[in-house]
Amino acid sequence: MGKIKLLFLVVAAISLVWMFHLVGWSEILRHLKLVGWYWPLILFPYLLVNLFDTISWYCCFERFPPGVTIRYLFFNRLAGEAVNVLTPMASLGGEPVKALMLQNKGISLTDATASLVISKGILVLSMAFYILLGMVLAPFLFHLSAGKLFALAVAGLALGLAAVGFVVLQRYGMCRLGMAVLEKCRFLPRRLKEQEAALCRLDAQMSTFYRRHLWRFWLSLGCSLLGWLIHGVEVYIIFDLLGQPIHLVTALCLDALATLIGGMAFFIPGNLGVQDGGNILLAMGLQLGALMGATFSLIRRIREGFWLAVGLVVLAADR
């Protein structure tokens, strides 16, 4: 599996370079210079995104952890998300890192894991709502074929159903139900069976959160949705700095669809290649041209690289 994932990564990297080569590196670089001294403005929205996502996560603790501040969770999240980007594990590779960092702060592994699972479910659910917004707006804004719009709609619907199912299962004993299914299929690993008591405690904690602290769920969901909307504002800022201003609603729609396309390549680190190709396709759908789409995608990669580096520094410092 490791070799297959590496092959996917190599193919994706080659595809990315090839796409940018077809568009024209010199033209892309010329457009990058249009940003000038406004690069910090491009980096700022993701700082707000991470802040609201951190507040959303903070709301997912059944008991607010003593000594663990929003500031600490902010940097913890940056470190974990850096690992998520670098590992082909559907944005799950960094979650154990976050849990272990919390454990080093005196938080029990059960408490840390429960908060992370709940937070991940809320994040995916809010993303599904955001993508649904984009799907509703897409037919009015994008010049895409009916077949492409239908494919995106099916993918968005599948994601939404999966997100709702994931949250509902947390309420009614996700681990216990999963183990029961595996046991019935005679596919339950012995090591997993040995952790049954710990998994039942995790189920109980997640169920308690939804029964006793439903208001925190809605607050967390609201903060997470706000984070996604700021992603759209980032798109608006980038195109404005590139001298190709678009309406804020159009920017939100573009980002929502780009999020959906990037999510289809969860098995490739950083959604490399697929996300960028999607950005180019969507820019062409808005009649902005492949050049503008490639430049926009590269700017986002640079922003991603900056915060990725910050996360890796935090991770190294924590060790």
Provide the token pair at 315: 């991770």
Rounded distance between C-alpha atoms, residue 114 and residue 117, angstroms: 5
Is residue 281 classed exposed, middle or buried when 0-12, 13-18 and 19+ CB atoms within 10 A define those classes?
middle
How many angstroms separate the CA atoms of 121 and 162, rounded?
10
d(CA 294, CA 317): 35
Provide the pLDDT for residue 157: 86
Identify the pLDDT of residue 142.
Answer: 80
Cα–Cα nearest to 129, from 224, 51, 271, 270: 224
Please tell me the predicted confidence (pLDDT) of residue 2: 54
Closest CA relative to residue 42, chosen from 299, 310, 315: 299
Q: What is the pLDDT of residue 83?
A: 87
For residue 312 the two structure tokens come to 């890796």
In sequence order, what DSSP letters do the residues of 98-134 get, joined into one string?
HHHHHHTTT--HHHHHHHHHHHHHHHHHHHHHHHHHH
Q: Whose structure tokens read 């159009």?
A: 250
Handedness of CA 252, 139, 242, 264 (dihedral sign): positive
How much is the pLDDT for 238?
A: 95
Q: Cα(42)–Cα(292) distance, rounded to whole angstroms?
A: 16
Mean pLDDT in runs of 10 for the chain (319 residues)? Answer: 62 78 84 86 94 95 80 93 77 82 87 91 93 88 78 83 89 81 75 77 87 91 96 95 92 92 73 81 88 92 92 86
Q: Which of 266, 299, 289, 293 is nearest to 278 (CA)?
A: 293
Contact in structure between 204 and 117 (CB atoms under 8 Å): no
Residue 9 is predicted with a pLDDT of 66
Indicate the helix (H) or strand (E) that contains 229: helix 214-241
**Which tokens belong to 238?**
């980038």
Supply the pLDDT for residue 311. Answer: 92
Query: What SS3 class is residue 40?
Result: helix
